[in-house]
Structure 1
Amino acid sequence: MSGIPQPAASPGDPGRAATDQVPFGATVAVMAVIGLILGSQAYVTIPLMPEIATAWGVEQSAAAWATSAFAIAYACGSLLSGPLAENYGRRTAIWTSLAALSLATLAVPLAGGQTGGLAMRAVQGLAAGVFAPVVYAYFGERLPAQRVALALTVVSCALGGTLVAGQLGAQLLESLFGWGAVFWVSAPLLAAGAVAARMVMLPDAPRDAGRAGGGFAFGNVLSSGRLIPLFVTALIVLGGVTAVYTGVQLYGPESLGDPDAMFALRASALPSLLVAVLAAPKLAAIPPTRRAAGALALAGLGMGAAALAGDNTLVLGIALFAAMVGVATAGPALVQAVGGAAGADRATAIAVYSFLLNLGAGIGAQVPQATDVFTHLVLWIGLAFAAAIGLVVLAGRASNRAAAADKGRSEVPGVASVPAEAR
């Protein structure tokens, strides 16, 4: 998103004039709430699969495409976020995409069948995908450098928590008012979010006529040995948890056939978000790749425990809680690692990361159909998380080597070092 010129101070520079910075608390709070409502749309269809299947006249397994259609389109929307933000500005890209999302959300229950329903879910995802990459880049440009990490953590946890919150909210609304109410309640909330975002974000800076607008530095990003392992990890992280929660809905213990039991299981993972946010300040001193590797290890152990739970829903709930703490902690660490490794191409790298993260979610919704044994599913996901740890370690070592090389060049007279942000 290099087409918009930056103020003289570098992004996130604490020395930037106060008039160039947004109020931290209001900005982060508004974006976190919007992220929670917006991201929940990806997962509301998981507990609604029986009702959607009936309404659309398809098998319940086919209704899983309602989740995949959103996630795959969301991934594409992440890539579109760059050109939109460059040509129209950060604030305009955010509030207009939220307005479009509100309209598409309203239309989902009115689609009348699978074809129309999936089309509206795809429009939802395309509009929603613009949000995270633009907001993360906006934080880096507008917030003081020492507060960017906390802002990323709060919003990332809000988005990560939608896997649980979206399912809980959908199940509750469906039980009270029917499945259509899930979308009819969400639509006005998203419209209100569009208004709030427009109010809290600073006006868009005019584009520099001397710089080319639109387009990403894809070549630099996709050829980086520091970024490629993190991109592959993105496929695993959200895809893994989406697969597990879809598998719980389709093939979980028989006792979860009781709606109250399923509600309690989903709710048991919700406090994991609070744990991740509270732990963030204490974990901030740990390098992002190490923090991500440790968090992924916890998520993998949670999956292993879920495989051993059998029909014991209490043990399953504890296992999924641990897995969600790991995922919620890994998310912001991976965003920081991607941004740090990308340097000047940070916005591009975050957009690609978001694309792959949500592409993984779309694939993850289909993974449970490869087996009808829940234990096998969570074991596979646990192994995938183990592989992700190795990828993150590789990325960390590549970054360390690059940092050492930069330091060596900086010690040569007349050779400038690469800024720390690029490392």
Structure 2
Amino acid sequence: MSKSSVAGAPPAALGTAPFARTVATVSVMGVLVVGQMYVTIPLMSELGDAWGVSAGAAAASTTAFAFAHAVGSLVSGPLSTRFGRRTVMVANVLAMAVVTALMPVATSLATGVTLRALQGLFAGSFIPMSYAYLHARIAPHRVSLALTVVSACMGATVVIGQVEAQLVASLLDWVWVFWGTVPLLLAGSAVSWRVLLAEGRQPAAVSGGAGLRAALGGRMFPLYLVILIGAGSLTAVYTGVQLFGPADVSGGGTLLALRASALPALLGAILLAPALARIPAPRRAAGALVVTAAAMLAAALSGDSAIALGAALFAFMAGFATLGPALIQSVGARAGAAQTTAIALYGFTLNVGAGAGAQLAAFFGGFTTLALFLALVLAVAVGGVLRGVRRT
């Protein structure tokens, strides 16, 4: 069975989507939707003041979004089986827009965390459904490039979301980080409905218990473990920079430059995608993990140098931008007819990792020890990928 088929039907039977319009729409919407997970990292002090708690306590808003996002990812598979991917994606973005509009009026930690959890829940369908849609609708020979572009854009949200929040909060006020996003989500929903192809009910054979058992098969487990570690490392390192980065990371401009330093790496990953696509996805993932582990080791050794830390973050994001599409290709290829369920589990695991990573940084006394720990677990993850290669 082709790795680019879903629900037992090849793309030709489902209808092939136009490449440029589809990838552009999914990428932009991914930045808007997934980026909301990370906008609260630079706003921890402002949110703490608004809710009457410490900045550290306000970090729970990022965790709440990520964990609820994981639940949303998990339930998106059964929902898409019944209603179609396009309907699930657009309906949830519309609901997310409503909750986002309410965020600035929260006056307590409990209310703020609840709203962030609802944001995450509605956003949760976007990553797995967009990947499943691309697998099903994009011509097979262009799937790798499509996944790399979309994955790089979604990976960039950890940077773009923070940069946007910091700039908007400094120029206007932190409330506009949320209120300014609402009309963009509404407009994006309308565009997505027009661009994405309609889908009906998927065959029951790929859903339910049979699909879940196939998606949880033994050869899939190492991949889910790697997803968990990679996503956790991503949020942990940027939360660590915000909480206790090097001594010369003190001004808003320095933090902005550190966050933006990773963007060229993401662009480079897109440009190199056609060449990298020739390498088997599991081996690509292993190589990317080696790069991220080495980057975290370099970050641990950067001392108080913002320049050295920026270079390490650049290398880390270069590896992560390659890791994401390689993992999603591996998951999609191994899951067979249970591809939609497997990709939903991918989204669930990714967001559990992201939520845990946001809290992980607080358990370390400084950035150096955090970076060393991340380098270690990323190195261990290389073994998980290679084990998966042997079991294929």
TM interval, short-chain normalised: over 0.9
Uncovered stretches (5+) of structure 1, i.e. residues with no partner: 400-423
Query: Closer, same or farther in 2 for the Cα pair 1:262/1:211, shift >3 Å?
Result: closer
Partner of 1:217: 211
Q: 1:207 to 1:339 in 2, by over 3 A?
A: closer
Asked if the contact 2:69–2:121 (Cα under 8 Å) also holds between the matched residues in 1, the reply is yes
The 1-side partners of 2:147 and 2:247 are apart by 39
- What is the match of residue 141 of structure 2? 146
Residue equivalent to 2:357? 364
Separation in structure 2 between the aligned mates of residue 175 and residue 368 of structure 1, nearest angstrom: 25
Aligned 8 A contact 1:43 1:166 in 2: yes
Change (3 A) 1:57 1:196: same
Are the equivalent residues in 1 in contact too, given 2:207–2:338 (CA < 8 A)? Answer: no
The C-alpha deviation readout for 1:250-306, integer Å capped at 9, x for no partner, is 111222220011111111111111011111110111111100010111011110110
* 2:291 is aligned with 1:298: yes
Match of 1:125 in 2: 120
C-alpha distance in structure 2 between counterparts of 1:266 and 1:216, whole Å: 43
Aligned equivalents of 1:145 and 1:169: distance in 2?
35
Assess if the C-alpha contact under 8 Å between 1:43 and 1:67 holds in 2: yes
Mapped to 2, the partners of 1:312 and 1:216 lie a distance apart of 52
Q: Does 1:376 align with 2:369?
A: yes
Q: What is the letter of the counterpart of residue 371 of structure 1?
A: F
Distance 2:270 2:85 in 1: 26
Pick the aligned partner of 2:54 from 50, 53, 59: 59
1:104 aligned to 2:99? yes
Partner of residue 393, structure 1: 386
The equivalent residue for 1:73 is 68
* CA apart distance, 1:140: 1.9
Match of 1:405 in 2: none
Deviation of the 1:11 alpha carbon:
2.3
Flag structure 2 segments of 5+ consecutive residues without an equivalent. none
Partner of 2:341: 348
How much has 1:309 moved relative to structure 2?
A: 0.6
Paired with 2:190 and 2:327, the residues of 1 have a C-alpha distance of 30
User: Residue 134 in 1 paired to residue 129 in 2?
Assistant: yes
Matched, 1:179 2:170: no
CA displacement at 1:207 relative to structure 2: 5.4
- Tell me the distance in 2 between the aligned counterparts of 1:329 and 1:98: 27
Where does residue 226 of structure 2 map in the other structure? Answer: 233
2:10 maps to a residue whose letter is: P
Structure 2 contact 82–201 (Cα < 8 Å) conserved: no
> Is contact 1:83-1:215 (8 Å) kept?
no
Report the CA distance between 1:349 and its aligned residue: 1.1
> 2:29–2:188: 8 Å Cα contact kept in structure 1?
yes
Q: Please, what TM-score do these two structures have when normalized by structure 2?
A: 0.95
Measured at CA, do residues 290 and 79 of structure 1 come closer, stay the same or move farther in structure 2, by a change above 3 Å? same
Q: Retained in 2: the 8 A contact 1:44–1:170?
A: yes
Matched, 1:267 2:263: no
How far does residue 12 in structure 1 lie from its aligned partner after superposition?
2.9
CA-to-partner distance for each residue in 1:330-386, whole Å, 9 max, x for gaps?
A: 000000011111111111111111101110000000111111211000000000110
Tell me which amino acid in the other structure corresponds to 1:138: Y
Contact 2:206 2:338 in 1 (8 A): no
Q: Which of 322, 325, 348 in structure 1 is aligned with 2:318? A: 325
Q: Which residue of 1 aligns with 2:11?
A: 12
Partners of 1:82 and 1:215 within 8 A in 2: no
1:82 counterpart letter in structure 2:
G
Cα distance in 1 for partners of 2:27, 2:363 equals: 35
Aligned to 1:417: none
- Aligned CA distance change for structure 1 residues 391 and 6 (closer, same or farther; 3 Å): closer
Displacement of 1:24 in angstroms is 1.3
Report the TM-score, using the length of structure 1 for normalisation.
0.89
- Percent identical among aligned pairs is 48
* Pair 1:311–1:100, CA change in 2 (3 A): same
Counterpart amino acid of residue 317 in structure 2: M
1:32/1:159 contact within 8 Å kept: yes
Distance 1:142 1:237, change over 3 A: same
Shift of residue 99 of structure 1? 0.2
Alignment CA distance shift 1:225-1:207 (3 Å): closer
Residue 403 of structure 1 corresponds to none
Aligned residue pair count? 388
How far off its partner does 1:151 sit? 1.1
8 A Cα contact 2:229 2:378, kept in partner: yes
Q: For the Cα contact (< 8 Å) 2:282–2:327, is it kept in 1?
A: yes
- Separation in structure 1 between the aligned mates of residue 26 and residue 56 of structure 2, nearest angstrom: 34
Deviation at 1:84, TM superposition (A): 1.4
Deviation at 1:214, TM superposition (A): 5.7
Q: Which has the higher contact order (CA 8 A, sep 6+)?
A: 2
Deviation per residue, 1:35-85 (Å, 9 max, x gap): 011111010000101111111111111111011000000111001101211
Measured at CA, do residues 212 and 279 of structure 1 come closer, stay the same or move farther in structure 2, by a change above 3 Å?
closer
> Is contact 1:47-1:249 (8 Å) kept?
yes
Report the residue type matching 2:257 in the other structure: A
Contact 1:11 1:145 in 2 (8 A): no
Q: Is the Cα–Cα contact under 8 Å of residues 83 and 201 in structure 2 kept in the other structure?
A: no
Structure-2 separation of matches of 1:110 and 1:243: 28
Distance, in Å, in 2 between the alignment partners of 1:349 and 1:94 is 17
Q: Secondary structure at the match of 1:255?
A: coil
Distance in 1 (CA, whole Å) between partners of 2:116 and 2:85 is: 24
**1:277 matched to which residue of 2?**
270
The C-alpha deviation readout for 1:82-101, integer Å capped at 9, x for no partner, is 12111211111111011011
Does residue 164 (structure 1) correspond to residue 178 (structure 2)? The answer is no
Partner of 1:242: 235
Match of 2:28 in 1: 33
Aligned match of 1:201: 196
Q: Distance in 1 between matches of 2:240 and 2:127?
A: 27
Contact 1:12 1:148 in 2 (8 A): no
Q: CA RMSD in A?
A: 1.8
